[in-house]
Amino acid sequence: MVVTDPLLRPDEDRLAAATGGHVSLADLLEQRAKLVADGGMAANEMSIVDDGILDDDARYRGLAARRVKIKKAITYASALLSCICAGSIMIFSLYAPQFQTHMGYSQVQVNLLSILGEAGMYLTTPIVGISADVYGSAVLSFLAAMLFGVAYALAAWAYAAQLPYFTMMISFLLIGGGTSCMYFGSITACAKTFTSNRGLALGLPITAYGLSSLWQSQVAAVFYIDRQSGEVRVPGLFSFFAIFLATIGLIATVGYHFGYKPDAVVLSAKELQPPSIRLLPDEEAPLLEDSLRAHNGSSITAEEEDRDDDGDSKTIALTRSQMVLAFAKDWTAWGVALGLFTAIGPGEMFLNNMGSLIRSLSAPGPSAATNISILSFSSASMRIIAGVVSDRISSKKGRRYSRMLVMLFFTVLLVFGHFFVGLGGLQVSNGWWFWTVSILLGAGYGAIFTLAPTIVSLVWGAERFGMIYGVLFVFPAMGSIVYELIYAVIYDYHTHGERLCYGLNCYQDTFLITGTSCVIAVITWICVWRLGWRRRGLFI
């Protein structure tokens, strides 16, 4: 029997709405009895549950469920809109060569701008993740609108007026920050709103993020290319991004504000308690119990567990500091961080240096805009495919396979792609094999971006997803900085005093290093999976 109590307090009403109205009569009476015992409500204030209330309950639950579905749809639409517009930084290689020819920057200076963009996007993720947990996605979306508007307007002015180099540095740092806020706010909202079919729920917005560079590169190629010189009109493109992205950020802010607010969901209908982690059987169980025991120096006491009647799940109350310490003491977390460093870092390097790499080929190859679109399409399609496949093979119907198999497959694609470039495959194939390399690296890069947040939410839980995911994704930023500096130093070394470099020597050593790095990522994923999570009985 299910009822709706007319005297529910606001926090109880949020519980009913968040759970679709599924609050049982026994749970409601138990909660009200506790309130009376604690002096929170007089006994004569207890409402009488009569037949009329019971008859109206089904209609109320239906309306509440529909209201929740509408709010979730608004949140998801806002996340998709944000993600499909947030990836403007990924077309950096389209106009990066003009920083050399027009602004007179060296390759190290050009790559430093890219590094600052990556730093603003990744190194801020711990703060952005905690902000997403505490303040919600609407605040992050509004901040993204402000950052994008200011950053791109300043970059357009700096390019047109030939302002000092540090002005452009500030612009790209702010662009990275805006990207982080818009993207991270969307992913966190989806991770907390949809706790089933996580691969698909996260795969669609992450796919949309991958597609953003595809349509943006084509817009630049159609509307912002000088037909005589063939170069991008950079000030016009930056001005477009300043207005467009600020508008999208404000629209998404409104959507998140009126959409579903997962932070208001109470984990247990029996007890309103401080932040906690709910441990469920099989693949839904966050890997926290062992770490918490190590932190406390003993096993979890009976008071720290709240087992449901079916005995299949439990809730462990954790403070934020306990969560951070438990996470930091889990060696598999450091293994995941190393894998992201050695796999995504090289991918970022390739994406941001595609323009200079194409120019260095001894034979003609595809244009940078075309190649960015190919890589973006490959990345986007594999993001959604990887999410759907990982959900399907790990489902409880029939024989189950781990999502880590999908992760390993796409990481191996990165190995092949980097070694193909490093061993001179582009030089002997007249440059057109660049498309194949873009497909391979785009597929691996995009799939890992989908699978990583899915695995994080499964291993360490969704409640503190923003904080944990933010901490882990500092490491791809560090990898991007390291590998882009390696590329720039090797490239400048072989220019012999000129601004541009031509031939295999410009990039060969870099891609041999990044190919080896991806091999390290494969070995790391296997160790984390087989020696860590599988031995602890966690199915991913």
Which comes out higher in pLDDT, residue 453 or 291?
453
Give the global pTM. 0.62
Name the token pair of 517.
Answer: 């790095």
The CA dihedral of 185, 346, 207, 323, to the nearest 10 degrees, is -40
Name the token pair of 2.
Answer: 């299910």
Q: Tell me what the mean pLDDT of segment 54-59 comes to.
A: 61
Dist CA 220 CA 248 (whole Å): 18
Report pLDDT digits (tens) over 73-94. Answer: 888 888 889 988 988 888 888 8
The CA dihedral of 188, 189, 192, 193, to the nearest 10 degrees, is -160
Name the token pair of 441.
Answer: 């690296």
Q: CB-based contacts of 499: which residues, under 8 Å, 6+ apart? A: 100, 101, 104, 106
- Model confidence at 282: pLDDT above 50: no
Name the token pair of 161.
Answer: 């007026």
Name the token pair of 37.
Answer: 């015992």
Count the neighbouring beta carbons within 10 Å of the beta carbon of residue 38.
Answer: 8
Which comes out higher in pLDDT, residue 492 or 273?
492
Of the candidates 260, 300, 297, 305, the residue with the CA atom closest to the CA atom of residue 278: 305
Q: One-letter amino acid identity for 256? A: Y
Dist CA 268 CA 282 (whole Å): 19
225 strand-pairing partners:
232
Q: How confident is the model at residue 281 (pLDDT cuts 50, 70, 90)?
A: very low
- Model confidence at 53: pLDDT above 80: no
Q: Tell me what the mean pLDDT of segment 210-220 comes to.
A: 84
Residue tagged 């390759």 (tokens): 107
Q: How confident is the model at residue 364 (pLDDT cuts 50, 70, 90)?
A: low
What are the b/e assignments for 446-479, b being 16+ CB within 10 Å? Answer: bbbbbbbbbbbbbbbbbbbbbbbbbbbbbbbbbb
- Model confidence at 246: pLDDT above 90: yes
- Model confidence at 275: pLDDT above 90: no
Dist CA 374 CA 353 (whole Å): 15
- pLDDT at res. 250: 94
Are the C-beta atoms of residues 403 and 199 closer than 8 Å to each other? yes
Q: How confident is the model at residue 303 (pLDDT cuts 50, 70, 90)?
A: very low
Give the best-scoring range by mean pLDDT among 371-380, 431-440, 518-527. 518-527
Dist CA 457 CA 274 (whole Å): 20
Dist CA 464 CA 267 (whole Å): 13
Least trusted range by pLDDT, from 7-16, 29-38, 346-355, 465-474: 7-16
* Direct distance between the N- and C-terminal alpha carbons of the chain, in angstroms, rounded to an integer: 36
Which uninterrupted H or E stretch holds 231? none
Pairing relationship of beta strands 276-279 and 314-317 according to DSSP bridges: antiparallel
Count the neighbouring beta carbons within 10 Å of the beta carbon of residue 396.
Answer: 8
Which comes out higher in pLDDT, residue 427 or 248?
248
Of the candidates 221, 246, 324, 200, the residue with the CA atom closest to the CA atom of residue 82: 246
Q: How many helices (H) and strands (E) does the chain have?
A: 20, 2
Dist CA 361 CA 353 (whole Å): 13
Are the C-beta atoms of residues 126 and 467 closer than 8 Å to each other? yes
- pLDDT at res. 262: 58
Which comes out higher in pLDDT, residue 311 or 490?
490
Dist CA 462 CA 346 (whole Å): 28
Name the token pair of 44.
Answer: 């004569």
The region, left, alpha or beta by phi > 0 then psi within -120 to 50, assigned to residue 380 is alpha
Of the candidates 528, 535, 314, the residue with the CA atom closest to the CA atom of residue 403: 528
Dist CA 339 CA 473 (whole Å): 11
Report pLDDT digits (tens) over 490-535. Answer: 988 887 767 778 888 888 899 999 999 999 999 999 999 989 888 8
Q: How confident is the model at residue 466 (pLDDT cuts 50, 70, 90)?
A: low
Q: Helix or strand or coil: residue 49?
A: coil
Least trusted range by pLDDT, from 89-98, 254-263, 291-300, 381-390: 291-300
Dist CA 253 CA 29 (whole Å): 38
For residue 324, what are the CA distances in angstroms to 64, 73, 232, 321, 528?
A: 35, 32, 46, 5, 19
Dist CA 518 CA 290 (whole Å): 30
